[in-house]
Structure formats: C-alpha cells, structure tokens
Amino acid sequence: MTGAQMIVQVLADEGVTAIFGYSGGAILPTYDAVFLYNEKQAAERGRPVPLIVPANEQGAGFMAAGYARSSGRVGVCLVTSGPGATNTVTPIRDCMADSVPIVVICGQVARAAIGTDAFQEAPVPSLMGAVAKHIFLVTDPAKLEATVRTAFEIARTGRPGPVVVDVPKDVQNWEGTFTGEGTLPIPGYRGRMLELASESLSPQDAARFFEMLGTARRPLIYAGGGVINAGAAEALTQFALTYGIPVVTTLMGIGAFDTTQALSLRMLGMHGAAFANYALDDCDFLIAAGARFDDRVATVPAKFAPNARRIAHLDIDRAEINKVKRVHWSHVGALADALAALTAYGRNAGFKPDYAQWHAELAELKQRYAMNYDRASALIQPHYVLEELNRRTRGEAIVTTGVGQHQMWAAQYCDFRAPRLWLTSGSMGTMGFGLPAAIGAQVANPNRLVVDVDGDASIRMNIGELETVTTYDLPVKVVVMNNFGDGMVKQWQKLFHKGRLSASDKSLHKKDFVKAAQADGFKHAVRLSRKEDVPRVIEELIGFPGPAFVEVLIDPDAGVYPMVSPGQSYDQMITGEYIASRRPVAIKTPGPSEMF
C-alpha cells in the first residue's frame, strides 16, 4: 500500500463515516486514495466513506466538529498544506477549548523541502502545537499507519480534543506493508490514561461526600460540558433524581440534564436564567461535574457561590481542580463511573434526604424570576420565534448556533431533552460555527432534524457553506435572526461605551439573504417580517422536506437578559425590563481590565 492508502484504511478501520475536507497539491495522493477506496467499496457493495467538500477549510473543521459533538465519534478533516492547513487553525482551537475530538490530516511539502519556504509550506507543527491537543509530523513513513491510529486514540481518550497529523507528500507516496494493527508507544500519555481508568471512587471518598451532602440543606449540581463528553448524562440524571438535587448547567452542559425536568434550573452564568443564578447564590453545597468555573460562570471567583459552605468537584482533568475556585472535595476520573458510584453508595447507606424546603424555594424562584421579554411589542422578538420553534421541535432537534445574542436566546429559550443536541462554540465563541456545524451534525445524524439558529453577522463568516448544504442535499433548516448588525457587540456598546456603535451597525449593508440562499440552491428561502406570520413560517420551515432557509427581521434593539456584567457578582445581575430582580441595580461600567 502507499502511505496515502494506509491513511484511508486506518480511517475506515476507525469507523469514520464521512471525511470533511478540501484537496490541494500536497494532499492529492490521499484524495486519490479516498477515490480508489470508495470505488472499490462501491464495486464490492461495501461502505464508502463520503467526502464532504466545504467552501473553505474552516468550514470543514467545523463540520468535523459538528459531526463529533453530535455523535460522540471522532470527526475527520482532510486538508492540503499551507493555506489549507492554516484555514483550520480556528476550528482546531475551537475544538481544543470545548474538548471536542477531531483528527485533522494535513498534507505537508515533501520532507526534503521542509524549511525551505517551499510552495504552500506552513509551519504546521509549531502553529498547531499551540492550539491542538497533540500534533504529529510524520517523518518516518514506517510509522505512518501507527501514527494515524494513535491520533484517534489521543483525540478520544481522557479529556477529548483535536489531534493534527501532518503528512509530507513523499510520505503519502511511499510504499510499504500495511499491518492492520499497532500504535505508537506513548508511555507517558497512556500511563496517565491507565491511571485515570483505575481511579475509581473509593468508599471513603463517597462517605466524605455524603457527610457533606447530609449536612446540606440546599445542594445544587453545576454540570458542564464534561458530563456530555464523558457520556455521563444518564449517570448524572440518576444521581440527581435519586436524591432530588436540582441541576444548573453551563452553556456547554446544556442537555446534560433534560431541561424540561422539574429539577432543571437551566443555564447559569453571564446570560443564565435569573432563577439559576439566584439558586447558585443560595446553595449551601455546590457539586461541580465536568465544569471548570470559567469566567462566563464564575465571573468573580471569590463571590461565586458565596453561601456554599462546601464545594465538590468531579472532573477528568486534574488541572481543573482548584484552578479557579478552591474546593473541599474532588475526584479525578471517569465521570459516569464516579456518579454511578455515588448513587449506589447513598442507596446502600439508606441516604434519604429531605430537600422539600429547598424545592419549594426553587419553585418560587422559577416562578418569580421567570424568563420573559416584551410580548406586547409589534416587532418580532427573537424569543418569540424560538418559543415557536421549540413548540415544534419539543427539545428533540439538534440546534447549532453562531455567536452573539441569538446564541444566548437559543440557549435560554430552547429545550434539550438529551445530550449532543445543543452544539455551540462555547469557550472560543467563534462566529461562523453554526452553519458548518449543522452540516456535520446532519451528516452524522441523517434522520434528525437539524436547525442552525444563526446571526446575520455570524452566518456571513461562513456563508459559502450554504451551497454545501444544497450540494449534498442535506435537510438542514437555517434560521437567521437578522438584527442588522453585531447585536451582542451593540449591547455592550450601549451598556459600556455610551451607545457609540463603532463598526457594529449593518443597517446599510446590502445583502439580500433570501436571494443568497436561493442563489445557492435553496428551494425554500423566505423572509419573515410580520409578527403574525411567525407560527406559520416556522411550521413551514420545519415541515419542508429538504434544505430550508428563513431570514427573520427581528427587533434590532432586543437585548439579552439577564446579564451579569464582567466584574460583577450574581446578585448584581441586570435582569432588564421584563424579568424580575431581587434587587434592581444600576449598571456599572467595568474597568478596562474587565472588558470581554
């Protein structure tokens, strides 16, 4: 086999069902090998591995990410050297920051040309080394097969993340024997993984945990994306339901616990529900699971969970323990096992807490500080559109987003009954994520409803991928919330820059989104501009049997509330005009060091 054929065979052996990528000189041998592999599969009625070609490699990276986030399987991206590779830097960093497993295979110039500023040469190892979980430059062709296999192992194990394999063109053209097995010796990493696997929660640790839980009156689970990545949503749900412990999630943790459950308090943080943030303020025992106290949640670590006498933290990554907030109990290891062990320990010990008082307090918080918006407005409020969408999807659709206000409204107003349905760029907050992520998710889940709730500015970033949707006839539904600009930026400018809308207003921009979608082959592309049409237009969008697009002209001044400003504590949360507040607060302008 050639090196290129070995790469493709390992991808097939790893169960890869789609490759997202764009060809070019330095990766031509591997694209040819994909062609030959698929031709053979077709002839033998085997399983071809379809290639999905984006408009831009950034799109391919986010497609691989959408595939991985929605399925839990490793996404694969195949690109050429130089500009092909550098176009994937943003999705690679995005995957790293949100712990998403992808493998990116880049062509590289031939070994002899490396370092000569050859045509389409880029220093991929040093560029990607700074943003990926791991990077391999394959200089010894005899190690190519094992390297690609090892890339998958590293991407999916421990805290998942992106792995890059940089393969010089002459290594792809090299011929050798495919062994069908074997990985690289990576004793340090593998040793840590073995150690993690052996770290089961001891009865002593469980006993200490239940001592704390036993004295708590207001326990609260704070669940992050790690719960989803670890496949621990079911174990978390069992744990919460067994003892009646309410759950708040981070943006990344949405779906780790069914948002329609009575014990769900939805999302906390900068734009979390007021009742979630107040519950966090009130809790006396905080149980953090697969969450990392990031600055959009623990804005001021010292004032985060001020009444929690104890904090427990479960995570796969030891580096997260005590990183931001000092905790009193921690467990590093596989989350599902640890949560199941806690559930079992308490059951065996006959632990039957009574949190009725806490539940009553929370029910009141939920009612008094419920999400709300300007329902009487003649303009289309984005929240209303999302409520109508949610009525039809019933928490079972995959929803992707861009970044900005529309992302936060979707997080606040859509239900998610299971993990891996809510796909958003959390840590990096990358505009342009929504559309390609929806494509990847639809490829991984051909029979699911996939909706991209996007912003007018975010979708512009990867708008070329509209054509990718129709090229592959993917029934993705796109909802663009058009507020004629960078709404989230405008919101900050109104709050903190005296309303000077520097470079964020797009009301004079000329794009006709409907025509753009039509030009890219959408058979269903409409503009929604009247409030009374919202239910019908959403119904028609969801019901359309193929790619469908709607541009919604929303109230350009709609704001995202609640909002915890940088440098503020949860009790200083601004809830806006339509959500009640425990104590109405004047807006404080953050100092320069606190911005973003």
Ligand X SMILES: Cc1ncc(C[n+]2csc(CCOP(=O)(O)OP(=O)(O)O)c2C)c(N)n1
- 587: DSSP letter: P
Preceding peptide of 203 cis, ω within 30°: no
The least CB distance from residue 455 to Mg ion, in Å, is: 4
434 binds Mg ion (CB under 5 A): no
Q: What tokens appear for 152 in the block?
A: 């998958």
Q: Is residue 243 exposed (0-12), middle (13-18) or buried (19+ Cβ within 10 Å)?
A: buried
Q: What tokens appear for 348 in the block?
A: 């065996």
Binding segment for ligand X (CB under 6 A), chosen from 6-14, 190-198, 330-338, 425-433, is: 425-433
The angle, 0 to 180 degrees and rounded to 10, between the axes of the packed helices 405-413 and 487-496 is: 100
The least CB distance from residue 462 to Mg ion, in Å, is: 15
**Can you spell out the DSSP letters for 155-171?**
HHSSS--EEEEEEEHHH
Which residue from 54, 426, 487, 566 is in contact with ligand X, where contact means CB under 6 A?
487
Which residue from 55, 403, 466, 579 is in contact with ligand X, where contact means CB under 6 A?
403
- Residues between 345 and 384 with contacts to ligand X, criterion CB under 6 A: none
Q: Is 143 a catalytic residue?
A: no
| The entry of ligand X, Mg ion, none that residue 339 binds, CB within 5 to 8 Å by partner kind | none
The least CB distance from residue 483 to ligand X, in Å, is: 5
Which one, 145 or 456, has the nearer CB to ligand X? Answer: 456
- 287: DSSP letter: E
Q: Is 169 a catalytic residue?
A: yes
Size of the site for ligand X (CB under 6 A): 18
| The entry of Mg ion, ligand X, none that residue 141 binds, CB within 5 to 8 Å by partner kind | none
Query: In sequence order, what are the residues at sequence separation of 6 or more whose Cβ sits closer than 8 angstroms to the Cβ of residue 433?
Result: 62, 65, 94, 400, 401, 402, 403, 424, 425, 458, 462
Binding segment for ligand X (CB under 6 A), chosen from 169-177, 237-245, 397-405, 574-582, is: 397-405
Q: Of 293, 292, 286, give the one whose Cα is nearest residue 265.
A: 286
Which one, 38 or 483, has the nearer CB to Mg ion? Answer: 483
Half-sphere exposure of residue 328, counting CA atoms within 13 Å on the CB side? 14
157 binds ligand X (CB under 6 A): no
Binding segment for Mg ion (CB under 5 A), chosen from 279-287, 442-450, 452-460, 470-478, is: 452-460
Q: Is 57 a catalytic residue?
A: yes
Residue 448, classed as helix, strand or coil, is coil
Which one, 2 or 381, has the nearer CB to ligand X? Answer: 381
With beta carbons less than 8 A apart as the criterion, state whether 229 and 99 touch: yes
- Residues between 372 and 431 with contacts to Mg ion, criterion CB under 5 A: none
Binding segment for ligand X (CB under 6 A), chosen from 217-225, 355-363, 372-380, 404-412, is: 404-412
Which one, 90 or 390, has the nearer CB to ligand X? Answer: 90
Which residue from 213, 431, 439, 552 is in contact with ligand X, where contact means CB under 6 A?
431
Name the amino acid, one letter, at 505: D
Q: What's the alpha-carbon Rg for the chain, to the nearest Å?
A: 25
456 binds Mg ion (CB under 5 A): yes
Q: In DSSP terms, which residues pair with 163 in a beta bridge?
A: 103, 134
The least CB distance from residue 558 to ligand X, in Å, is: 9
Locus of tokens 């792809």? 172
Q: What tokens appear for 580 in the block?
A: 């009640």
506 φ, ψ (degrees, to nearest 5): -120, 25
The least CB distance from residue 173 to ligand X, in Å, is: 37
**Can you spell out the DSSP letters for 170-216?**
HHHH-B----S------HHHHHHHHHHHH-PPPHHHHHHHHHHHHH-
Site pattern 481..520 for Mg ion (x: CB under 5 A): --x---x---------------------------------
- Name the catalytic one among 39, 119, 211, 352: 119
Which one, 87 or 147, has the nearer CB to ligand X? Answer: 87
- Name the catalytic one among 14, 57, 320, 387: 57
Residue 527, classed as helix, strand or coil, is strand
Which one, 68 or 481, has the nearer CB to Mg ion? Answer: 481
386 binds ligand X (CB under 6 A): no
489 binds ligand X (CB under 6 A): yes
| The entry of Mg ion, ligand X, none that residue 205 binds, CB within 5 to 8 Å by partner kind | none
406 binds ligand X (CB under 6 A): yes
The least CB distance from residue 349 to Mg ion, in Å, is: 53
Which one, 223 or 410, has the nearer CB to Mg ion? Answer: 410
Q: Is 523 a catalytic residue?
A: no
The least CB distance from residue 495 to ligand X, in Å, is: 14
- Residues between 103 and 142 with contacts to ligand X, criterion CB under 6 A: none
- Name the catalytic one among 133, 169, 325, 506: 169
Which one, 224 or 404, has the nearer CB to ligand X? Answer: 404
| The entry of ligand X, Mg ion, none that residue 489 binds, CB within 5 to 8 Å by partner kind | ligand X
| The entry of ligand X, Mg ion, none that residue 290 binds, CB within 5 to 8 Å by partner kind | none
404 binds ligand X (CB under 6 A): yes
- Residues between 442 and 481 with contacts to ligand X, criterion CB under 6 A: 455-458, 481
**Can you spell out the DSSP letters for 363-426?**
HHHHHHT-----TT-SSPPHHHHHHHHHHHHTT-SEEEE-SSHHHHHHHHH---SSTTSEE---
Q: Of 274, 366, 263, give the one whose Cα is nearest residue 573.
A: 274
Which residue from 429, 455, 559, 566 is in contact with Mg ion, where contact means CB under 5 A?
455
- Name the catalytic one among 252, 481, 488, 563: 488
Size of the site for Mg ion (CB under 5 A): 5
**C-alpha to C-alpha distance for 222 and 14, rounded to whole angstroms:** 34
**C-alpha to C-alpha distance for 80 and 28, rounded to whole angstroms:** 8
Locus of tokens 């500080």? 369
180 φ, ψ (degrees, to nearest 5): 75, 5
| The entry of ligand X, Mg ion, none that residue 283 binds, CB within 5 to 8 Å by partner kind | none
**C-alpha to C-alpha distance for 441 and 398, rounded to whole angstroms:** 8
Q: Is 120 a catalytic residue?
A: yes
The least CB distance from residue 487 to Mg ion, in Å, is: 4
Half-sphere exposure of residue 350, counting CA atoms within 13 Å on the CB side? 0
- Positions annotated as catalytic residues are 57, 119-120, 169, 488
Residues found near ligand X in the complex (CB under 6 A): 402-406, 429-431, 455-458, 481, 483, 486-489
